[in-house]
Each structure stands twice: as structure tokens, then as C-alpha cells.
Structure 1
């Protein structure tokens, strides 16, 4: 799987059509997910994305919130298929980084987040 970070935007609840207050700060990651392999593969970010910075140990950042933009990237992809869409996270504060874990061990992806 090839995952490309196309954009990062900090948003408030009204910008993602929710009344749920974040624990910290909502952030929208716009991703393109493409299966560049020869077999089916999945990208299922819920529960597998964690935020951390120099002061704070990893914290679960996944939400069930969505945006109206793009498609749902949480899917199983056949070879050659791709989708561009948003993942909404709830991070303690701006900055830091988000790690994605698709198995046991080290993060398979890390996205550095802007501090503003």
C-alpha cells in the first residue's frame, strides 16, 4: 500500500458537521491510499493512529468523525485501486506527529503535524 499525505488542516466541530467536542483539537488528514501491490490489501486507520510529541507519550487519536470531502479511505483495495479522502483525528494539541500501526512493532507510517 502507498499512502500519500495531501493535506493537513486543524478544524473545529462545526467544520466537520459534528456537535461532539474534541478532547483536544480536531485535525483532518487528506490521504490518497493506493494499492501498488499484486494482491488485495486494506487500509483501516480506526484505532491504529496515535499522536505524540516531545512532552507526551503516544495517545489514541482515532475518531468516528468524517468530512463531506472525498471518499472513505477505510477500505480493502484490489491491485491498482486508489481512493482520496479524509481521516479526522482528535489530538491533544497542535504539532507533534501521528503514527500509524498496521501490525505489531514499530509504526509503519509517521506524519509530522504543523504547530499552527
Structure 2
């Protein structure tokens, strides 16, 4: 199955699988914005290995069972020249709500995920399981 690629302003869905109960539900993620930021813009003194990029996401449970979105450690960046690299950080922007949570059917949250990527462009793959990426987010090249 091909991984859906989500561009800014677009949405994609995937089936969330609860690792404890194995309950499955449909989750929808909308990529609202992508922007490169400096450490001072997200109130951190930690220097990125590459470039801090903020993804503003709206996560919604469009299924019939509880489902989670837990991006930490599950976001990996790649492009045509570079193999997948872990892009996860624990950094926060202070804007929006925390998208890393469990959602009951119909619930949604809009908030930011801060990533550390080598450069703009490429894609960020999100893994909700051990197999293929569940969704991918397109990063603009500029």
C-alpha cells in the first residue's frame, strides 16, 4: 500500500492501531502550515542538528473507537539524496494544543510538532506501527 503524501492545506487519513487493545480507528491529519524556525522562536537554547521545522497539524478521530496520535520517535525525514533520519524532538512552540494524545471519536486538536531536519524539502514519514509509514508530510523546498 502506498503511503499518502499530505501537502500544506491538505488532509490524509490512516488507521490507528492501539498497541495495548489492538482496537483500530480512522484518524485524519490536516497539514495546516510548515515553517522553519530558529531556536529562540520556540524558546529553546538547544541547537538543532539541522533545522527546526514546525508542522502545524489538526488531528481528528474520524473513526468509531478511541485512537491516538503519538508522533515522538515516530517522525522520520528523507529526501531523494538522504536516507530516513529520525526527526523527532521534545521541543514545544507554546502555540496551540498538544496533539500527542488519545482522541475519542469526533474529537480534534490543532497544535504544533517541532522537528529537527537536515534541510527543507523532502518528506516527513509518520509511523503508527512497525510496518510502512502511515502518512507522509511534504516539506516545501524553500
1:54 to 64, 68, 80: 80
The TM-score with structure 2 as length reference comes to 0.81
Unpaired runs of at least 5, structure 2? 1-26
Is 1:85 the counterpart of 2:111 in the alignment? yes
2:124 to 86, 91, 98: 98
Unpaired runs of at least 5, structure 1? none
Q: Distance in 2 between matches of 1:115 and 1:14?
A: 22
Q: Cα RMSD (Å) of the superposition? A: 0.5
Displacement after TM superposition at 1:28 (Å): 0.1
- Aligned counterpart, 2:6: none
Q: Distance in 1 between matches of 2:39 and 2:130?
A: 32
> Which shifted more, 55-64 or 105-114?
105-114
Q: Distance in 2 between matches of 1:104 and 1:90?
A: 22
Q: Distance in 2 between matches of 1:111 and 1:37?
A: 21
